[in-house]
Chain A
Amino acid sequence: MKGCFLSIFLLLLLSGCAPVGPQTLEHPHACGDGPACVSAFPWGTWQFVHLIEFRLPGGGGGTVIGITVLDGTALKCALTTTEGMTLFEATDNGGLSIIHALPPFDRPGFAQGLMADVRTLFMRPPGSPSCGMFDSEPGCRFRYRAGTTDVVLSADGCRQITTWTAAGMVARTITTHDCTLRHGYRLARSLILKAWGKGGYVLKMKLLRAQQGL
């Protein structure tokens, strides 16, 4: 009985930390490229530059510049100081290749985590989505082996993205603000990415420049 209470207590404790389980997608139907999905991720070749303010669990943080280059399935990204010193540079085209990494950006797992952030932000998840409604807002859901990605199109024309692990735990939430449709992509002037779980962090990103078709 004690064990049961403890389990319930732990469950309640965890559920207070992070959303558990994807919310219900109402009226789901296969949609291929529904309106919420088609504009949620950029297509083709893009180069984005963001000013990134990061906050770590222990209270530390700072500001860096983040550069993302999308070229088909190839993903390239870099972090520099606000003065331009390269802190991290890597490419991922089916395999991660680190070009440059200064401490503490050379820690094990950092590159993988960063690339996962960038993929969540800019890369369309694998598979065909189902479209429907999340509460009263249109959205779509991608289900794949490693988890689920939900995209909600808000009334203000911005998208909100949530990724879930295969176990149903929220992995990342992205809220976007001040969006405009550009080359078929809902480009956000600012966004907040929150990584949940142990070692979670928050990134506040302000768009400095977006170039398409380089």
Chain B
Amino acid sequence: MRNRSALRTAAPLIAGLALVASACGGDDEATPSASDAPADTEAGGSAAPAGTAAAGDICVEGDTVKLGFLNSTSGPMAISEQTVRDSLLLAAEEINAAGGILGKQIEPVEEDGQSEPTVFAEKINKLLTEDGVAAVFGGWTSASRKAMLPVVEGANGLLFYPVQYEGLEASPNIYYTGATTNQQIIPAMDFLASEGVETLFLAGSDYVFPRTANKIIKQYAAELGIEIVGEEYVPLDSDDWTTQVAKIAEAQPDFVFNTINGSSNVGFIKAYDEAGLGADNSPIISVSIAEEEAPAMGVDLTGQYAAWNYFQSVDSPENATFIAAFQAKYGADRPTSDPMEAAYTSLYLYKNMVEKAESFCVDAVNASSDGVSFAAPEGLVTINGDNHHIAKTGLIGQINADNQFDIVWSSEGPIEPDPFLEGYSWWDPNQN
């Protein structure tokens, strides 16, 4: 009886031990390699995750190179980030078919960021230190990028971030293949000025990108002589825009600058339509509605505008090839959009960088990244070695009846990236 009592008490413990033991069971083979991982060995480490560089060492052994694809495949961002995952897998397949990178076949290691910044931080740590990937591709929200930044810097890894963002950042361990503000927001303002817009209303999600974008818009608007007649924010996941749209209807602006993120756009467009507003009397220019989102709005958006650096309608042989390959792999009904193109481009840029450096070592890749270019579907893109962004052409598209964009405005050639807006005298980061 004594034994039984003791056993009874110990039962949950035994179950727990089994759990803890199984929690670690999968690590046995990983442990020795992980203990060699540089992130463990050096404070603020200078060694590459793929191994410390010695002379002639290219940091990746064997016939394959592991690359981490870290996108949210669950949670609210999954609907957007899955499209990026799809185009990354397409690019990897194409590169492998063409002989790989430096003769090594790409071995994708997929992880789910779960739409949570904390999970992004954990997963990129896992990819860099446990899997020893040579580079990571992914992230979407600014929160996910900010969460990954200290980890990728601490492990001296590489991250390729494929989404337009709010700028004011340049990490030696991140390459930004989406637009920074002077390649999307500022061209959009130039377009509005050329249209003779005098009053502008700002509508955005309560979030870093819209807040920062609007800070820039307000300062540039003052420079251009455009009056801001209202500024409204709604939480990221909120769909109720009724009160805010009523204010727009009252203000009667020439244009609405829409920096709303994700599914909240649906609620905004619905309220907009119900208030009797539309492209004819109060046009909207958006920076996050693309080919993927436009048909999902439930309202005809014909005549509205969007600012991007790529549209499916871009007329180039590279884009035709990209669209054909994407639709052959995923279905003829699948549109292609800016972040997908930027992700596709990022993998090819990485290939070109590695082949120029003749090494996968992070420091070697960084040292030779300046000027590496790729004939992307959007046009020729070139890496700026100082700020790790790429030169891109700014485009304004107008939505047509097929939910495709007719390009109505384009910058004069690719715009050099300027994430800190140092070349713009009107910009004062400390002025709100």
Q: Is B a genuine binding partner of A?
A: no
Which residues of A are at the interface with B, using a C-beta cutoff of 8 A?
A: none
Which residues of B are at the interface with A, using a C-beta cutoff of 8 A?
A: none
